[in-house]
Amino acid sequence: MKNQKKRTRRRLKIWHGIVALLLFVLVSIHLSGSHKLRKRIQALSDQGYPVTTQELEDSYTIPEGARNAADIYLEAFSHYSEWDKAAMRDLRKARSPKRTEPLDASARKFIEKFLSDNQKTLSMLHEAASIEHCRYPIDFTDPPELGDPPLDKTQPCVLLLYLDVLIQCENQDLDKAFESIRASLALADSMDAPFMIHWSTRTGLRTLTYKSINRVINRFALQDEQLLTLTKWIGALDIYEDFKQALIEHQCLGVATYQAPIREVKKRHKNADILWKVLGLCYGEALDYIDLMQEALEMTDLPESERLAALKAMNDAVEKGEYKGKLIWGLWPLRRYTFFVDFRHLAHMRTTQTALAVERYRLAEGRLPQSLDDLVPVYIKAVPADPCDGRPLKYRVLQPGFVVYSVGDDLGDNGGAEPGSRGRDGQGRHLPCDLPFTVER
């Protein structure tokens, strides 16, 4: 009996020893991991990077007492009236007339009815555009997703303003067409908020606005002052600096996520489990995440001709699992090639600005330039580079008109072909195209 008790006590001591050893190892892992992470986060802070969501919130402010355009935008979004699916399909067809031709009577009537149903929203979008400052109510502890307000209403409202440009062109009212273009750019720039999704939304909305400018340029021969006004409005965005800032702010979001209690991590990321946090695996992954984001930030400083390829290669590495971790994929801001949206926007912005310079040259010289070099240095300082391949933008004289274009993501020169214009291949996919700004007059 005594021997059995001794054996039992011995086994208990062994198990107690094993448990104590495991606890010691676990505590050591946590202490070592948390120390390394705190040290790395402090280094980021010393370099001037935000490392807490409170710092993000403090940076997203407007002057005290200033009027906030977001209040007007949110009310405008609440009044937006979307038709049923069948009517919206018909509306999409009506809003795509050939660039130099007027709307047919039925399409015009259809669009005017939609504008009438959304007159209050349209009026408030113009009102908000006149307000300098904008700050949406954002919960910095719970980042927004694409379906969240106001993100889900911005694109329909930019399309609403585009439809108004179509109608004002029919009415020969350039002043009102310009007002809607300005309101569209103001709505896009209201998305100047601290998360990558706002940046992608902003660039996407601006790209839609360039369609409005294209419509106006194709319908009217503008005066030099009007062309300069459009150039000034478009040129307000420094895409690379803002893109880098969005990455910095997203890095902060990731750091805050790794430091969050497990209940918060589970709330945001369904794949996260308790063991990941309890075993201290989060610390090594957090350091890998910071390394990944720092590498992405360094790539934004590369020469423009190298930047897109470098970011694409990095994104491929993440998608292939070369950067492992429960949250890295969910936190990686450039997944699914979202950064291509930004480069496409830059291409559209530059082709639009260059096309405006071509129009200024035509107005002054009475003819189109033979090449974009003819615009230097009076109308542009230098021929802009194509952000996709780093070479100068392409230009062709048409009969009539001209096209300025980027070669696009596939890097192939297709002569300024527009999306969908070259038909489909044997598998039903659209043949490669370019990113053009075409004027046919």
pLDDT digit string (tens) for 267-283?
555 554 555 666 667 78
The residues, ordered by sequence, that sit 6+ positions from 63 with a Cβ below 8 Å of its Cβ are 133
pLDDT at 359 over 60: yes
CA 383 to CA 392: how far, in whole Å? 6
DSSP 439: E
Name the most confidently modeled range: 97-101, 126-130, 233-237.
126-130
Half-sphere exposure of 95 (CA within 13 A, CB side): 23
Question: CA dihedral defined by 136, 139, 143, 148, rounded to 10 degrees?
Answer: -60
Could you give the CA distance from residue 286 to residue 324 in angstroms, rounded to a whole number? 11
282: number of CA atoms within 13 Å, CB side? 27
Mean predicted confidence (pLDDT) in 307-334: 79
Q: What is the pLDDT of residue 199?
A: 84
Mean pLDDT of 34-43: 89
The enclosing H or E element of 10 equals helix 2-46
What single-letter amino acid sits at 355? A
Where residue 20 falls among pLDDT bands split at 50, 70, 90? low
Quote the CA–CA distance of 423 and 419 in Å, as a whole number: 9
Look up residue 340 and give its two tokens.
């291509």
- Report how far residue 1's alpha carbon sits from residue 8's, in angstroms, rounded to the nearest whole number: 11
With 70 as the cut, is the pLDDT of residue 430 above it?
Answer: no
pLDDT for 8: 59
- What is the Cα–Cα distance from 393 to 376, expressed in whole angstroms? 14
Q: What is the largest CA-CA distance in the chain?
A: 114
Residue 238 pLDDT more than 70?
Answer: no
Contact indicator for 376, 337 with CB cutoff of 8 Å: no
pLDDT bracket for residue 263 (50, 70, 90): low
Residue 389 has pLDDT above 60, yes or no: yes
Please report the DSSP string for 259-304 in residue order: HS-HHHHHHH-TT--HHHHHTTHHHHHHHHHHHHHHHHHHHTTS-H
* Burial annotation 284-294 (CB, 10 A radius, 16+ → b, else e): ebbbebbebbb
Tokens matching residue 270: 């369904």
Q: Looking at the predicted structure, is the pLDDT value of residue 48 above 60?
A: yes
- Give residue 418's pLDDT: 83
pLDDT band at 362 (very low <50, low <70, confident <90, very high): very high
pLDDT at 227: 97
Tell me how many helices (H) and strands (E) the chain has.
Answer: 17, 3
- Which residue type, as a one-letter code, is found at position 155? Q
pLDDT at 355: 98
Exposed e or buried b per residue across 93-111, where buried means at least 16 C-beta atoms within 10 angstroms of its C-beta: ebbebebeeebeeebbebb
438 bridge partner residues? 403
pLDDT of res. 62 = 93
pLDDT at 7: 56
Averaged pLDDT of the chain = 84
Please give the structure tokens belonging to residue 404.
């300025």
Least confident of 25-39, 127-141, 148-162: 25-39
pLDDT score, position 209: 94
Give per-residue pLDDT as tens, 391-412: 999 999 999 999 999 998 788 8
pLDDT tier at 236, thresholds 50, 70, 90: low
Render pLDDT for 173-228 as a digit per residue (tens, 0 to 9).
999 999 999 999 999 999 988 788 888 888 889 999 999 999 999 999 999 999 99
DSSP assignment letter at 65: T
Confidence class of residue 285 from pLDDT cuts 50, 70 and 90? confident
Whole-angstrom Cα Rg for the chain:
27
Q: How far apart are the first and last CA of the chain?
A: 107
The residue to which tokens 């800032």 are assigned: 245
Which tokens in the block code for residue 96? 């795509």
At 283 the pLDDT is 81
30-39, 159-168, 199-208: which has the minimum mean pLDDT? 30-39
- The mean pLDDT of 333-353, rounded to a whole number, is 80
Handedness of CA 74, 79, 84, 88 (dihedral sign): negative
Q: How many CB atoms within 10 Å of residue 61?
A: 10
- Cross-sheet strand order for the sheet of 402-406: 394-397, 402-406, 435-439
d(CA 249, CA 255): 10
- Lowest mean pLDDT, pick from 152-161, 324-333, 355-364, 418-427: 418-427
CA distance 312 to 310: 5
